[in-house]
Each structure stands twice: as structure tokens, then as C-alpha cells.
Amino acid sequence: MCLVRASGSDYLIRGHMTHIFRKLAIAFGLLIFCGVVAWHTLPSQVAKGLIALNNASAGLRSKVISTDVGDIHYLEGGQGETVLLVHGIYARKEHWVEVARALTKDYRIIAVDLPGFGDNALRADDDYLFDQQQANLLTVMQALELKAVHVGANSMGAYVAALLAEEHPELIASLSFIGSPLGVPTPIPSDMDKARDLGITPLVVQTTEDFAERNEWLSPNIPYVPGPILRTWAKEEVAQADHNARIWDVVHSKSDVPTVLDLAPSIEMPTLIIWCQEDRIFHISGAAILDRSLPASHLATLNNCGHVPMLDKPDAVASEYLKFLSSFPGPE
């Protein structure tokens, strides 16, 4: 048997490496500890970082442009024909990121915060009237030099986009209602219709508890959103609760414009309707009525999703949208 005795230098090396590994373990543990502490105590700072990382992973960059209706925050990425994505009431551009992730390979994507929403400054109450919102969106499109673009829009944003499509058809190559649009009366009352008859407005947030309950109204399968982002968005919305309550009243009671259903026969560009079976905000019975009223439409109904399918069914929405967009001849 041959015994090999470790030299003094071997012991020194081993001791040195053990010391290094111990320091690395301590540093890693401290990093995790600080991350956990920040996650719970600095949600807004952590939220910004997480949002930036997620946007970048989808090929999107945050940008700001100065316009006649203030500084407008938006996301942009990809290349090809332009697709403009427009959110609904109390929503924001980040709600489109997971759908945009599947589109940026073939299309230039712009997801905007509408004037008065998201990261933009709040506006006077009358600026939320539908005819003014249409003018505001037109101003944003002109500032971004957008012409003949594909527009995908949700809920209130879809109403605004429909008004713009009827007034300025040359600006919109196609219009997609991604999730049911506001402005389509349904023969069967929705859960929200029933709640409003009782004087309840489930989409207007007054407390953090309301924020969580509102999400349940919007989606039967609430997608995972990291806690710091949810807490930050909830805090911001609660802070402007009175303003949001007035917006709701302006949008639903004071805007004197034709409904989307009234506008539909004059919207001649190709249109896509994506409407979820479980939508509690606007009942699925309105989908076929809107489809029949539009001159050149395609209807896709999805299961197991609610009023914001770009959040709870992004892959299915992206698939339907890509099929629709690919039906158009490419630029010459």
C-alpha cells in the first residue's frame, strides 16, 4: 500500500478555497436576503425593474414622446408593418406585453398608454369624453407618424378605436376588438349589467381589496403577476380613486357618441372580433350581433378567459391575431 501525505501547501490551498466558498455563500445569502426584503418593502422600485426586464424579454423598449396632449409613454419593438395596441379603462400598455412577445418577430409593435392613463399624467374630466378621447388618440398617432396601421384594442380602447376608424379610415388598415368592446348592447345581461342595476360598479377601485376583486371580475383565470407589481399598481389606482370614479361617470353617462354597434356598418376595413365565453363584463351574446353588423369581420370565440384575454389567454389571442394579420398582403 502506498500512502501519499498531503503537503503543507495542499492544506493551505484547501483552506484558502474553503474560505472563498464560505465568503461566496455568505454573499449569496445576503443577496437573497436583501432581495426578499426589497420585494416586500420596496415594491415600486422592484416593480420597475421587473417590468423593464419583462418588456425587454419580449423585445420591447419603453419610450416617451411629447405631444399636444402631454408626454405619452409607450412600448415599441419588432419590425415590419405597424400594429398599434390600445388598452381599456384603468388599464395600461404593459397588459399587451405577452401578446406582443409573439408578434415582434414579424411586426413593429407599439403599445400606448392612452392620454390620462398608465404612466401618463391625469387629465381633466372632460378629456375622457369619447369624442375627446378619439381626438387625443389621433394626436398621439400623428405624433408617432402612424398611417394605415393595424389596430388591436380592448374594451373602452376599442370604442375609441372604432370612433377613429369611422372618422379617419385612412389611418387604420385593420381593426381588431381583442376582448369585448364597450358599446355593444347584449341581448343577455352580463354579470356587470346586473351589478350596475343594483348600483354597483365592480371595475371602479376604491381600496386594495377592490383591486383584487376587480381582477376576479375581469378574468376567471387570473394570470400570475409578481407581488411588487400588483401592490404598486393597486396603490397607484387607490390613490386616484375619486378621479377614476369620475372617469367612469364621464365615459358611461356623459359621452354623447354613437355606439360601436351603430358605427359598425360604416367600418369597412377588415375587422377581427375576439370575445371570451366567460366574459362577465359584456355577455358573449353580443359577439354574433357585432359580427353581423360589420361589413368585413371574422369572429373568434375563446374559452376559459374573461374580459381581458390578452392577459389570461395571450398565446391563444396571439395565434388568432397572427392568423388574421397574415391574411393581408405584405407591403410592396
The reply to whether 17 falls in a domain is: no
Domain enclosing residue 83, as ranges? 62-326
Q: What residues pair up with 62 in beta bridges, in sequence order? A: 75
Per-residue confidence (pLDDT) for residue 1, from 0 to 100: 42
Distance CA 201, CA 18 (A): 62
The reply to whether 237 falls in a domain is: yes
Distance CA 251, CA 245 (A): 10
Distance CA 202, CA 196 (A): 8
Residue 133's nearest CA partner among 163, 93, 99, 166 is 163
**Phi and psi at residue 142, to the nearest 5°:** -65, -40
The reply to whether 19 falls in a domain is: no
Write down the pTM of the prediction.
Answer: 0.88
Tens digits of pLDDT across the chain (332 residues): 444 454 555 555 555 556 555 655 554 454 443 444 444 566 788 889 999 999 999 999 999 999 999 999 999 999 999 999 999 999 999 999 999 999 999 999 999 999 999 999 999 999 999 999 999 999 999 999 999 999 999 999 999 999 999 999 999 999 999 999 999 999 999 999 999 999 999 999 999 999 999 999 999 987 888 989 999 999 999 999 999 999 999 999 998 999 999 999 999 999 999 999 999 999 999 999 999 999 999 999 999 999 999 999 999 999 999 999 999 876 55
Residues 228 and 49 sit within 8 Å (Cβ to Cβ): no
Buried b / exposed e over 220-248, threshold 16 CB at 10 Å, is: beeeebeebbbbbbbeebbeeeeebebbb
Q: Give how many domains the chain has, as a whole number.
A: 1
| HSE-up (13 A, CA, CB side) for residue 142 | 11
Per-residue confidence (pLDDT) for residue 3, from 0 to 100: 45
Q: Residue 282: CB partners within 8 Å, gap ≥ 6?
A: 180, 181, 182, 184, 186, 190, 192, 275, 307
Distance CA 172, CA 132 (A): 18
Cα-based distances in Å from 36 to 33, 140, 226: 5, 40, 13
The reply to whether 36 falls in a domain is: no
- Helix or strand holding residue 51 (H, E): helix 43-57
The reply to whether 239 falls in a domain is: yes
CATH number at residue 320: 3.40.50.1820
The reply to whether 47 falls in a domain is: no
The reply to whether 194 falls in a domain is: yes
Per-residue confidence (pLDDT) for residue 36, from 0 to 100: 45
The reply to whether 230 falls in a domain is: yes
Distance CA 247, CA 148 (A): 30
